[in-house]
Structure 1
Amino acid sequence: MSFLTFITGSTRSWQPAMTVDSTTSSYWLNWRILLCSIWILMSMVFASILISKYECRQNSEEQSTENQQQQKEPSGVLYEDEVWKPCLRSIHPGWLLGFRVFAFFVLILMLILNVVVDGGSIFYFYTQWTFALITIYFGLGSLLSMHGCYRYSRKGGAAHFDTERGSSTSAQNSRATKGGAFNQEHLFRQKAGFWGYVFQIIFQMNAGAVMLTDTVFWFIIVPFLAIKDYNLNFLIINMHSINAVFLLGDTALNSLRFPWFRIGYFFLWTSIYVIFLWIVHACVALWWPYPFLDLSSSFAPLWYSTVALMHIPCYGIFVLIMKAKHFLLSKWFPQSYRYAQ
């Protein structure tokens, strides 16, 4: 067996089939489209409300000097050092940098291989959209970590580590005596810039998208393919597993926060993908990458609403993962763990 055969599969693999011509007016002018459009519109309105209420309010608060006197941080605040420092002070930032660089090269090579094997049509699939997004995440994260490690080395590793431990102890004492008040460490830390917030947002988009992609694939698509006697090749299996492995690995190491309201970006990401498919299918008679997105089925509104509702538990799973990380690391490494709400 050749390497290419091992990668692409030597037996029958799944190829989507076109059901009806999606370029006709009758395909789009019916009650199913109206209901599905309502679901998409509701998702985008919900996402926009969350983002405008919390993200925009946070930006206005950061520009106000009154924010220094508040008793609580904005829910989506991000500090510059949180994008490149590991969550444990005993771990050198170079380890996080090395992990991100390694993950980026593995992901980009797999994405290129996927394009070489199956062509550009792979980007009709949500999996490849998410895979490209997580590749961008690790690429941008590598650059931010390089910049952070450069700053870290200029300050002096050991001296910076001791100073940080001292400021952390002071901050913990402040929290203990003042409750929810701003600790002194935060007053001297620099807020993240544009790319830091982009990185944080992509992280939270990936959190939901990876959970949704892998859940739908392993619990819906794989059983369907098994019934139809199709085989999964090495590339397909890895693209629906290694994304979660790398994302969870980075989550275990990084210091990024996870404010719940950024689920709005996750909803927008999926909505944009669906709108993209609709535009393509309105212009070209083409197969649907996922059968449950085919609008010719009378069950299409039910499928669309189900997928929309699945965003909440998929995002919630990652919220629980972040809470478990905080609970375990603060318990196992109380002196070294960087606490972030």
Structure 2
Amino acid sequence: MMFSLRMLFEATADATTLGYWLNWRVLICAIWVFASFTLSIWMIWEYEIKDRLGHSTQETQQDKNKLRSCEAWRPCLRQIHPIWMLAFRVCAFGSMLASLIVKTLANGASTFYYYTQWTFTLLTIYFACGSVISIYGVFICNRKRTEGLNEHLNENNMEEGQHVPLLSGKPSNLIGGNIVSYSKEQSFSPADIWSYIFEVLFQINAGAVVLTDCTYWFVIFPFLTIKDYNFSFMTINMHTLNLALLLGETALNSLTLPSFRISFFFLWTGIYVIFQWIINAVVSIGWPYPFLDLSVPYAPLWYALMGLIHIPSYGVFMLIIKLKHELMMKWFPQSYQC
């Protein structure tokens, strides 16, 4: 068994030749990849674009999962001030950026040849965007707190017979001991757009990080001796820090993980696969992962298997968020706001 796995992982051919691409294995793998693209685009149209254009005639679960801009920076518990989420995101961004710089200085630009670095970079971008959004959230929180306090004073004055116009008539919530108001009306603004993009980044990372770490620890790591892989502290760091920080973020934020957003996860991986096909067709550089090699006899099986693994990878994170929801509702029923 070990011998057959060794032969499978070592099998390769020159991908720059025309003969490499003109065979049935490539055709089947291409069908898998472009079928996932087609399905993903259909899901995005059906549950994102079509719904937002107002073509839906009834409320669906996806309607309930629409993001309000405040949810991008609002912690899941009212007692947690948004500044704590800002601090976490800044620290996470700094540690991931430092790791990425060290890895790049050690291996050069070739480090971005791997899916691990693609995902690590995407998560770094996520925390960078999250830091900016949290800064905006802290500003909004402080401004609304001031308005809420002014409203409270004006209401007291009215009770005393002094008629003073209210500065704000919006409902308020208590966050971190501060009175903060949120508008229940949905408005199409730049903040909503950036919050939507931010949520999509979170959902792509949710699946991609699990896929990356599980593939490494359960598929690649057991067979490191087959090829001379460079097993170092940075390798371990790249496959543990990402998940640890993402779990910490998940514990704090108010973001959701609707099932149909797996479409963006499939698109992300599909873009990486097509990128690898183009690079290997032009330059004889070798495949970063043995199961991407289209010359091995079981290439279609490997591609189908890696595609199917996306579903449990995304599903695991859905279960984590569901577990978080259940525990928070049990432990903090008056404070939980997701």
State the 1:46 CA deviation: 1.1
Residues 207, 318 of structure 1: 8 Å contact kept: yes
Q: 1:316 to 1:243 in 2, by over 3 A?
A: same
Determine whether 1:164 maps to 2:173. yes
Q: Percent identical across equivalent pairs? A: 50
CA distance in 1, matches of 2:33, 2:229: 32
State the 1:333 CA deviation: 0.2
Alignment partner, residue 210 of structure 2: 211
29, 47, 55: which one pairs with 2:48? 55
CA distance in 1, matches of 2:32, 2:42: 15
Alignment partner, residue 267 of structure 1: 266
Alignment partner, residue 88 of structure 2: 99
What secondary structure does 1:325 align onto? helix
Residues 294, 300 of structure 1: 8 Å contact kept: yes
Q: 1:155 to 1:287 in 2, by over 3 A?
A: same
CA distance in 2, matches of 1:71, 1:281: 44
Query: Can you list the C-alpha shifts for 1:213-269, whole angstroms capped at 9, x where unaligned?
Result: 000000011001156675620000000010000101000000112111110000000
What secondary structure does 1:74 align onto? helix
1:116-127 alignment to 2 at 5 Å? Answer: 116-127=105-116
Residues 11, 295 of structure 2: 8 Å contact kept: no
State the 1:20 CA deviation: 2.2
CA distance in 2, matches of 1:300, 1:150: 52
CA distance in 2, matches of 1:156, 1:212: 41
CA distance in 2, matches of 1:258, 1:157: 33
What secondary structure does 2:53 align onto? helix
1:164-243 alignment to 2 at 5 Å? Answer: 164-165=173-174, 187-188=184-185, 193-226=192-225, 232-243=231-242
Alignment partner, residue 104 of structure 2: 115
CA distance in 2, matches of 1:244, 1:156: 34
What secondary structure does 1:295 align onto? coil
Residues 54, 75 of structure 1: 8 Å contact kept: no
State the 1:57 CA deviation: 2.4
Name the amino acid aligned to 1:296. S
Q: What TM-score results when the alignment is normalised by the length of structure 1?
A: 0.83
Query: Can you list the C-alpha shifts for 1:43-77, whole angstroms capped at 9, x where unaligned?
Result: 1111111111001123213xx9x99x969771441
State the 1:189 CA deviation: 5.8
Residues 79, 174 of structure 2: 8 Å contact kept: no
1:236-255 alignment to 2 at 5 Å? Answer: 236-255=235-254
CA distance in 1, matches of 2:148, 2:306: 51
Structure 2: where are the runs of 5+ without partners? Answer: 1-8, 150-170, 176-181
Q: 1:29 to 1:75 in 2, by over 3 A?
A: farther
State the 1:187 CA deviation: 3.4
State the 1:21 CA deviation: 1.4
Query: Can you list the C-alpha shifts for 1:151-187, whole angstroms capped at 9, x where unaligned?
Result: 1112227957x93149xxxxxxxxxxxxxxxxxx873
> Higher Cα Rg: structure 1 or 2?
2
134, 142, 146: which one pairs with 1:153? 142
CA distance in 1, matches of 2:313, 2:22: 32
Alignment partner, residue 301 of structure 2: 302
CA distance in 2, matches of 1:320, 1:262: 15
CA distance in 2, matches of 1:278, 1:222: 24
What secondary structure does 1:156 align onto? helix
Residues 18, 288 of structure 1: 8 Å contact kept: no
Q: What TM-score results when the alignment is normalised by the length of structure 2?
A: 0.83
Alignment partner, residue 77 of structure 1: 66
Alignment partner, residue 36 of structure 1: 29
Determine whether 1:140 maps to 2:129. yes
Residues 211, 314 of structure 1: 8 Å contact kept: yes
**Higher mean C-alpha deviation, range 104-113 or range 188-197:** 188-197
State the 1:190 CA deviation: 5.1
Residues 81, 148 of structure 1: 8 Å contact kept: yes
CA distance in 1, matches of 2:79, 2:187: 22
Q: 1:70 to 1:146 in 2, by over 3 A?
A: same
Alignment partner, residue 162 of structure 2: none
Determine whether 1:45 maps to 2:38. yes
